[in-house]
Amino acid sequence: MRQLIIPFHSSDYADDGMQKASGKFIMEMLREWETTFHHQFFPVYANVLEGHPLAMARLSRYFDGGKNEGFDFGMDLIDGEIDIDANMEMDDHSESTMVYAIGSQIHDDEDEPLLLVKNEALKDDILVLRYEDDNGENGDEVPVPENVGESIRHS
């Protein structure tokens, strides 16, 4: 399985989303995590960020800069699966604004989304970056273009 477990302790971050040790904002940290994932599982990029509902609540607050704008990061798993339609239906009855995905920080492109998922089975002090293919699988059999190594050799 292609996944990267990220320590995400509340004591490591200020309420405004700055990591205390590095002084980096949460979006900069996310870029570093995505970069690490990509280097570890080249040529794959992470497309899912998963966390316990409490961790996702902290993540949404950090992205808000501690302002509590009413955003709710992450879809709930339905029977252990990502079900966007069911989450959208639940969102119609919610007082907060559901955020299903954010643009990849490594791509600087909102067309390359990072799905946000709540998973109560995870501990609340970690996040998990992972790759999931279009069929909901972990993508162990990712097709690699024949020329993928050429750009590295020519750099």
**Which is more confident, 111 or 120?**
120
Compute the distance between CA of residue 131 and CA of residue 46 in angstroms, rounded to an integer. 5
Q: Dig out the tokens for 11 from the structure.
A: 């004591």
pLDDT of residue 108: 63
User: 27-31, 40-44, 97-101: lowest mean pLDDT where?
Assistant: 97-101
Q: Dig out the tokens for 68 from the structure.
A: 């509590």
When pLDDT is averaged across residues 112-131 and rounded to a whole number, the result is 94
pLDDT of residue 62: 93
Strand extents, DSSP E, the chain = 3-7, 48-51, 71-73, 75-78, 81-82, 97-99, 101-104, 109-118, 126-130
* pLDDT digit string, tens, across residues 131-149: 988 765 555 554 443 444 4
| pLDDT classification of 70: cutoffs 50, 70, 90 | confident
Compute the distance between CA of residue 40 and CA of residue 100 in angstroms, rounded to an integer. 25
3-state secondary structure of 125: coil
- What percent of the chain is modeled with pLDDT above 90? 51
* pLDDT digit string, tens, across residues 85-119: 776 676 666 777 888 888 888 866 666 789 999 99
